Structure 1
Amino acid sequence: MRFETDGKLSLWLFRDPPEDSFDDDILKTQFGITTYDEDMLEVGGSDEWETTPLKKVFKPMSYSESWAEAAIARAKELGIEECRRGFFILNFAYDPQKVQNKIPAEPVFLGVFDY
């Protein structure tokens, strides 16, 4: 399934450290994403997996001035105010309804945002 879409980013949050080391396979095995441009994947947050306010996680990430406010509002709707790490794929509009995988609770798929 291909989700490439210019001007969109798909964002996930880790509230808890992963049981295994974080790697790109999580996208395929847990979210059914079989193809994406690896150069468009960006990770933010604590290298030590410490709990960090979302604003602090998002601020150094690319184009955050255009999407962080909407992402924080969406997270607040879900009762999330902090995370350990976040990652996104630029030019990508993931749609969990188009994959057959059961979407895991962790990491949380926060949504698709304009940037």
Structure 2
Amino acid sequence: RFDLTMLNSLLWMVDDAPAFYDYDDDIESGAESEMPLGGKPLPVISNSFGRSVSDYARNPTKKKSRYLEGTSRAIFSAMDKQGWEEPIALDGTIENPEIYHVTEDTVEEIHVDKAYGEVRQRVQ
């Protein structure tokens, strides 16, 4: 799924673990939480958020890069606090992101209805 690929890409931008780190290893790291590779969250990404990431990819600037990194850190933090296996929905833009914790039913309904232009309305 595209949404999951985009979410993982955003998270990996700010994941400070080395590339060779195996999240499946049961190693005591002292960290409060870890992002497991096996338990992927179910995301929904709105049209507006996806377009803003696409716009950055086509026309990158330092300012947009800072926004994208800040947004990625906010998503990482939100998922770390709520739980890595909890569904998430993204709306807004990289400049003004809206991060929602949602139910699996809501995620499924949005995907089934292809309602990516109605994410904010459906999650509130």
Q: Give the TM-score of the pair, scaled to structure 1.
A: 0.26
Structure number with higher strand proportion: 1
Q: Give the TM-score of the pair, scaled to structure 2.
A: 0.25
**Higher relative contact order (CA closer than 8 Å, sequence separation 6+):** 1
Rg larger in 1 or in 2? 2
Structure number with higher helix proportion: 2
